[in-house]
Structure 1
Amino acid sequence: MRKIILLFTCLFGISAFSQIKVLKNETLVEIGKDNSVGLYKKEDKFTINYQDLNTANLNTFRSFSFQNLNKDVSGLYELIINGFIDAPESNIVLELPNDIIELHFEKNFGQPTVQFIQYINKNKKYVGKSQFLNKKQVDKIFGKSNGKSATYEKPGTMNNINSANQSTNTASTAVPAANGKDKKSKK
């Protein structure tokens, strides 16, 4: 009888102090990916992952996230595409809730490209840089070539009810005017 009680106590002790815990699998939907840059969606939060070329260790991956409150994903895509058409004179700066992102446009081999520059936690000391992306790669990342761009507007939760109260937390991806004049977009 003592052996049975001892065995029961040992088994109970092992299960009570277990260090491994099974977590719920969260659904993360890949919108698009090209090489080391990808766009992912979880409910109404979008995340761009990229391989940081600014570090000596090429296995460093970074990401930045934002909500799609005012069609910000489509706005970011349009901002990049307009930058390919008419390259801005300086970097376009976007403030996200946790980070500052700069869109750096440059011509590589005569082709317009864009690079994400991330100031991690809004600190200019910690900088991450993605690879340069051309229009075809941007289309692939934003799901324009595979049809997954339609998932931008599918609501994960009901966050758009009080959009006026949320304007202080969101990043604006509106296209800046050049010299005070509005640009006309090509359709």
Structure 2
Amino acid sequence: MGNQWTYAAHIKYHDRVTDSLIEKDLEWIMEVTEVIPHGSTQAVIVKGFPTDLVWYEGKAERANYLLLVDSNKIYLSNLAPEDSLNIRVRDSKDSLTNIKTGYNLMFDFPLVKGKTWGADPEMPQRSDSMYAWVVQNTASTNLAAAVKYNTNPDHSIFEFQPGVGITGYQFEHHGTVMELTMKLKSKRLQ
């Protein structure tokens, strides 16, 4: 229906049943299934967000997510079909303010090195850039911006190229082995 991104994914995880380390390569598709105008914002329904492969154990389902595009910000929310949010984004009178929180803020453009947002409201204020999104580098014509969320148990890095979208994703758990690396193979942008 809409834009589609195909990723090459490499997964390394600990299999609890066999008590062994498993490595697997697979192809992952993220696609826009619906775009819903919502006042000055747009609600974009996406199937197969890269985070679906975190804690992969042999198979993964492509879930639905809501990306709320509001000016220079993109907010992310899981979206089950029966979720009230699915109904709310179609109601132009609903301001969706409870989605527009720092915690759900995925990207805050422009992505310039050192920019920080989305600190976990449950955590005390920190000065070390942990538990918040931090831009690691600014995008250039041949290099995507890297945006990292670092916690004690794990970290995630999204690579974002203007005009293309998410070009890579990495997740690594710092304890039990769970490593995921995704790189964009192809895209279909409309």
Q: TM-score range by the shorter chain?
A: under 0.3
Whichever of the two has the greater Rg, that structure is: 1
TM-score (norm 1): 0.28
Q: Which of the pair is proportionally richer in helix?
A: 1
TM-score normalised per structure 2:
0.27
Q: Please state which structure has a larger fraction of its residues in strand.
A: 2
